[in-house]
Amino acid sequence: MTGKPYNSKSGVLLQVDNLRLNFHTYAGEVKALDGVTFTVKEDEVLGLVGESGCGKSVTALAIVRLLPENAYVAEGKILLEGQNLLNISQNEMRKIRAHKIAMVFQDPTTFLNPVLTIGEQLEEVVLLTTPDRLTRVTTASEQSGDLGSGNEKWIKRREDATRPQTSPELPRSERKKAASVDVLKQVRLPDPLRTLGQYPHELSGGMRQRCMIAMALVRNPILFIADEITTALDVTVQAQILELLRELKHKLIGSTLLITHDLGVVAELCDRVAVMYAGNIVEIAEVNELFAKPLHPYTQGLMRAIPIVGRPLERLETIQGSVPDLIHPPSGCRFHPRCPFVFEKCRVEKPQLLDAGEEHKVACHLYGEKNHDANCT
Amino acid sequence: MEKKIMTQTVLEVKDLKKWFPISGGLLGRVGGFVKAVDGVNIEIKEGETFGLVGESGSGKTTVARCIIGLLEPTAGQIIFRGQDITKLKGMPLTRTRRRLGIVFQDPYASLDPRQTIKSALTEPMTYHKIVASEEDALRVAKNLIQRVGLNEDHLYRFPHEFSGGQRQRIAVARALTTSPEVMILDEPTSFLDVSVQAQILNLLSDLQDELNLTYLFISHNLSVIEHVSDRVGVMYLGATMETADKDTIYRRPEHPYTHALISALPIPNPALKRERAVLSGDIPSPVNIPSGCRFRTRCSYSTGYCAEKEPLLSARDLGHAVSCHYNLRLSSPIPLTEPAYKT
């Protein structure tokens, strides 16, 4: 898979290629992302896991181009359906955010406007997707004869969506309302009509997060980015949201990039997992493979360091030290100061993400070509 | 782990209630109460770790604050070594407080940013007149800072020079300065990353063995509670729902809330397929607690009787108490298979 160019038949939706991203700060340059490379395939859930400060959220923000002002991309490409999102204008990017990528964040309270009702906020988004607008898009592309693969799929997805068609004779406001109620039903809010008239503070955390998901869903995005969406919620409410995502997966949501630090959530929802450490992807594998056979010392350490219900342990194994300062990141492999298997090459040379099995890549010198036979039995 | 002999009760919380008045309006009339803690019963034995688990807003932290004396309970008793400490005042209270240590959740807020670590560690000792002189205090502080895995140089630094994990180590050292018998650990790892969390959990377990401490470990993280505890108490909306030893809580719970809580926990094992009991709705407001059983609004087994009468926390087996009218037969919320990745 390495270095394979994008083609629409390969089923790759999003390709992040060697993304390097720095932050200007008074203390110095924070080298937040150091050559991040991964792909999100069509109709899959890719989990992005790592501890806080490893660059998970920054990667997501780079994809939607909502980075803070002091951040800049030094190198790399972000290809959505083959189009580099880093080269297009703000205006085009706005359209992509409106129709193709939807993102939901950790804390729903911050992202809902406290002085507008849920209905007002949701209808604003619904405006983008009302049926008359949809027909206009269809006819426009038909007339121009430009039925690109991406566009076609996008329109098809809209038709597939199991929402009852509101008749076009109804007034516009009624149609907006009907569509809003509909999407709130899909996220299993108990009383959608009442919720439309309520302000965010009247809702519980779980309900607010459902509203955020509804706003994302109503656009029928081809890529759904979920950044720690269950972290702020209680276990029982988290279970409800996970249940909802599982239900919506493959039905309304196309591909999902699920960002989390919780390996439990990963195991529940993801098809493939990418593990991040200090701005690098250290390992990518299919979910069962990763949990059964983690290769990178960091992934192994992480799995041994968490207490798991049903796995009684006398002591937890620890990863010594703490996450490095990214203004002065360690040379070579960024994990080497904490790695139990460190050897000379690790201090000098940065390991590349290489194949270590079917659909399993790891960035570690232990599995390099020379040492491959010695260490992988 | 060698079998600990846990017989003597060190700390007992009986029917603890803490209601916060809601006052408002022109005359500041009390319009109602936030019943943060509304009937908590726990019993902690010598040398054990008692895990107190519950979702946010269930009143776990309020219980901790009542025990340590930072809040005055509305009703109920807190019996420490046979003495009700809720009635204490003045010197006897100070002397009792010395024997209880606390580590708070947020190590960024619990250390004074303008105080050196040395001062943070020696101040409690001089205040409680535990040491004879400044030199003695410094000697003890040096000893403690090494015990928690830092070194002497760190004594002369300020909190901002430390990472979250290191700060929490300092907070643990500070709690130990008065040689407490019971340590109250209020979510000590929830601010930390998983790799650092493991270090702190191991440190706490070492200290417990060395110093023969009794822990009240409060957390919302069910996996951490299972790892550290000998016995567990489950709280919901200010009251204890079930208390039992760890294995009973996790494998054979009898309260429907405990069952749902544990089955809701995502387990890091993709090969595992299990049926989960997903609770509907959210925790009701602690201002308007449902009549009868407070869990009935989300319980799939509730009947008319549940709305009428509040169940009492009553013993089922030895050391197993459940607050439910019915004797439900619930399946094990976690499958008994091995996790995918073994160490």
Chain B residue numbers with beta carbons less than 8 Å from the beta carbon of A294 are 341
pLDDT tens-digit map of A83-106: 999 999 999 999 898 888 999 988
Check whether A368 has a pLDDT greater than 80. no
CATH of A8-270, one of 3.40.50.720, 3.60.70.12, 3.40.50.300, 3.60.9.10: 3.40.50.300
* Cβ-Cβ contacts under 8 Å, B263 against chain A: 239
CB count within 10 Å of CB A28 equals: 13
The answer to whether A313 contacts chain B (CB < 8 Å) is yes
Distance CA B332, CA B84 (A): 38
Please list every residue in chain A whose beta carbon sits closer than 8 Å to the beta carbon of residue B269: 267, 291, 308
Contact B268 A307 (CB under 8 A): no
Domains for chain B: give ranges and CATH numbers: 9-24+31-99+179-267+275-322 (3.40.50.300), 113-177 (no CATH)
**How close B331 comes to chain A (CA, Å)?**
15
Which pLDDT belongs to residue A150?
46
Closest chain B residue by Cα to residue A233 = B56
* CA dihedral for A198, A199, A201, A203, sign (positive or negative): positive
Residues of chain B positioned with their CB less than 8 A from the CB of A301: 195
Question: What is the reported pLDDT for A8?
Answer: 45
The answer to whether the Cβ–Cβ distance between A310 and B266 falls below 8 Å is no
Q: Is the pTM of this model over 0.80?
A: yes
pLDDT for res A3: 39
Tokens encoding B36 = 């943060």
Contact A266 B267 (CB under 8 A): no
Per-domain residue ranges for chain A?
8-270, 283-377
* A-chain residues near B342 (CB < 8 A): 311
Phi, psi of A286, rounded to the nearest 5 degrees: -65, 145
Residue A168 pLDDT? 59
Q: Which of B195, B264, B340 sits opposite A236 (nearest CB)?
A: B264
Chain A residues close to B250, C-beta within 8 Å: 309-310
Question: Which residue in B42, B51, B22 sits closest to B217, CA to CA?
Answer: B51
What integer is the mean pLDDT of A142-162? 46
Q: What does the pLDDT look like over A192-211, one tens digit per residue?
A: 999 999 999 988 888 999 99
Percent of chain A with pLDDT over 70: 83
- pLDDT tens digits for B100-142? 999 998 888 999 999 999 999 999 999 998 888 999 999 999 9
CA gap B343, A362 in Å, rounded: 20
Please return the burial class of A97, using the count of CB atoms within 10 Å of its CB with bins 0-12, 13-18 and 19+: middle
Measure CB to CB from residue A307 to each of B227, B266, B282 and give the nearest one.
B227
According to the model, what pLDDT value does residue B332 have? 79
| A229-264 per-position pLDDT tens digit | 888 888 888 888 998 888 888 677 779 999 998 999
Whether the Cβ atoms of residue B62 and residue B19 lie closer than 8 Å to each other: no
Q: Flag if A292 and B271 touch (Cβ within 8 Å).
A: yes
Q: Residue A292 pLDDT > 60, yes or no?
A: yes
Comparing B16-30, B58-72, B78-92, B135-149, the range with the smallest average pLDDT is: B16-30
Kindly report which listed range (A146-155, A280-289, B241-250) carries the lowest average pLDDT score: A146-155
Q: In this predicted model, what pLDDT tens digit does every residue of A47-71 receive, in sequence order?
A: 999 988 899 999 999 999 999 999 9
Question: Using the beta-carbon criterion (under 8 Å), do A310 and B55 form an inter-chain contact?
Answer: no
Q: Are B149 and B180 in contact (CB under 8 A)?
A: no
- Which token pair is A38? 């991964």
- Integer Cα distance of B325 and A298 in angstroms: 48
The percentage of chain B sitting over the pLDDT mark of 90, rounded to a whole number, equals 62
> Which element (helix H / strand E) includes B29?
strand B29-45
What was the pLDDT predicted at B136?
92
With CB atoms and an 8 Å threshold, state whether B193 touches A51: yes
Q: Is the pLDDT of residue B7 over 80?
A: no
Tell me which DSSP letter residue B296 carries: G
Q: Is A242 on the interface with B (CB under 8 A)?
A: yes
Question: What pLDDT is stored for residue A76 in this prediction?
Answer: 93
**From the list B226, B267, B341, which residue is nearest A303 (CB)?**
B341
Res B24 pLDDT > 80: no
Q: Look at A322 and B278 and tell me if their CB atoms are within 8 Å.
A: no
* Residue B341 near residue A294 (C-beta atoms within 8 A): yes
**pLDDT over 60 at A296, yes or no:** yes
| Residue predicted with more confidence, A128 or B135 | B135
B213-250 pLDDT, tens digit per residue, is: 999 999 999 999 999 999 999 999 999 999 999 999 99
What number is the average pLDDT over the span A311-333?
Answer: 86
The more confident residue out of A170 and A37 is: A37
